[in-house]
Amino acid sequence: MTRPALRIGNASGFYGDRLDALREMLTGGELDVLTGDYLAELTMLILGRDRLKDPSAGYARTFLRQLEECLGLAHDRRVRIVTNAGGLNPAGLADAVRALADRLGIPVRVAHVEGDDLTAAHPGSLTAHAYLGGFGIAACLREGADIVVTGRVTDAALVTGPAAAHFGWTPDAYDRLAGAVVAGHVLECGTQATGGNYAFFREGDVRRPGFPLAELHEDGSCVITKHPGTGGFVDIGTVTAQLLYETGGARYAGPDVTARLDTVRLTQDGPDRVRIDGVRGEAPPPTLKVGRTRLGGFRNEVVFVLTGLDIEAKAALVREQMDTYAFAKSRPEEVRWELVRTDRPDADTEETASALLRLVVRDPRQDAVGRALSGAAVELALAGYPGFHVLAPPGKGAPYGVFEAGAVPRGEVGHLAVLDDGRRLPVAPGDDSRALEAVPEPPPPAPPAPGPVRRAPLGLVAGARSGDKGGDANVGVWVRTDEAWQWLAHTLTVDAFRRLIPESAGLPVTRHVLPRLRALNFVVEGILGAGVAAQHRFDPQAKALGEWLRSRHLDIPEALL
């Protein structure tokens, strides 16, 4: 017998998302399950530092604040809640939720998933966690849990777990699980699926986008939509953008299944409804990803304001003074300068007449980035360039983190579902696995017919979305017509990408082709250094790298413009 569709929503895309989203999703329409994603690479570092100060900490405290207002609503509406807000301490958050429920007099069964914490096996790490799949969540739900709290599971596991429990899927139901992974990937970042951070944002009202939900079917297909009357919009473009976010090639690997992104088919199914079907899955890799964070050293910065004339000469003077005097005896391990030309000629405000010269230093020793930098920078106040001032005086230097990715055999991770009554159910990995291999690039479409071209920004015909994975960045670029796809596939080569994004010129760049999405996905290795917490570049998570690419000019056929 075919089971009814599972309506599963999202109420958080990161630790710090809208506090009232939980209530919005519970009151805005029908739901069976409500998920919340709170974890990212940077979040694990933040929670690790919290745990250093307080061993009972390590979870997303804002989730408890949201739940205090909404636990009764969820209970009355029979909506189950699944969240990775447990972070480094899912057992602690589960206990805190039980205490909250007791205080409010609401009978709920709270379970949690553990086994991801491998920190003890990685000396020197602040945190080390394996990315678990959804079958621990499924075990908790099958045993009657109303709320399931996890630590580091994959973002998509928040959907694959409830789907496996609801439909009775087994670990070898790869096509169905792959469909759920794709649905979970679309939902995981909340309003990014409903017009947030969207290249063509002017096509709808995105002042306050509603959160997304998926109507998931037993065959793994789904419809992405949102509650009626909420802001934002859902169309093939918003879903495509999120599908490309923080992915690599056609094989999107996870602990439950490897989803083939090159098989995804998108269809507009009505206003604010996009159907996803055709997704194929393969056995997951034999290893689980492990994310490790550690303290990398200390960092400090100062931003000098250069106003009016002779900007380049003023910047050269500052650099010479700092190099000669501040760093003469003790030079930090890393010294980086960047001149940002925000000034314009004959400006009618002082701010628009000013450029910013940014100095960033890093070193394992706090003293090397603290007193030497702050003292020397301040001492230039009356001995530097004309108009000397800084945005803020440099401090003592702050610690920065490093994210590193590794792998561990699946069988070495003790995945456990811990039920409300204390029972601990081992979650065995599936029997099959498949080593991850790149998909050969498919044949290109026919080249476009020759015709007149015009020099114009890429973004007039293409959308883009970019993001980070450790020290790497990905930039997904897509177009909306077959004619534009013919042009894009032949024009935006790796060499062309490097010309448009000069920062990538000396780095490995891989192009992945996804014809069904009319999309190219570029992975740039090492552009983010040691990851977001190290703040290696101006945009440390590469969130705007795609928008920079869209602003670059190249020859575009006039027929597309």
Q: What tens digit of pLDDT does each residue of 443-452 get?
A: 989 999 899 9
- The residue count of the chain comes to 561
Specify the pLDDT at position 41: 85
User: Quick check: 159 and 182 in contact, CB under 8 A?
Assistant: no
**In this predicted structure, what is the pLDDT of residue 372?**
66
First to last CA, the chain: 51
DSSP 215: E
> Would you give the distance in Å from CA 229 to the centre of its chain?
27
Supply the angle between the helices 157-167 and 135-142 in degrees, to the nearest 10: 40
**pLDDT value, residue 260:** 97
CB 311 within 8 A of CB 207: no
The 3 state secondary structure assigned to 156-214 is: CHHHHHHHHHHHCCCCCCHHHHHHHHHHHHHHCCHHHHCCCCCCCHHHCCCCCECCEEE
Of 195-204, 249-258, 356-365, 374-383, the one with minimum mean pLDDT is: 374-383
Q: Which CATH class name applies to 296-402? A: alpha beta
Q: What is the pLDDT of residues 98-143, one digit of tens each?
A: 999 999 999 999 999 999 999 999 999 999 999 999 999 999 999 9
Q: Which of 297-311, 328-342, 384-398 has the highest mean pLDDT?
A: 297-311
Domain residue extents for the chain: 6-291+405-426, 296-402, 453-560
**pLDDT of the residue at 328:** 77
Distance in angstroms (rounded) separating the CA atoms of residues 87 and 60:
7
Strands 147-149 and 110-114 come out as: parallel
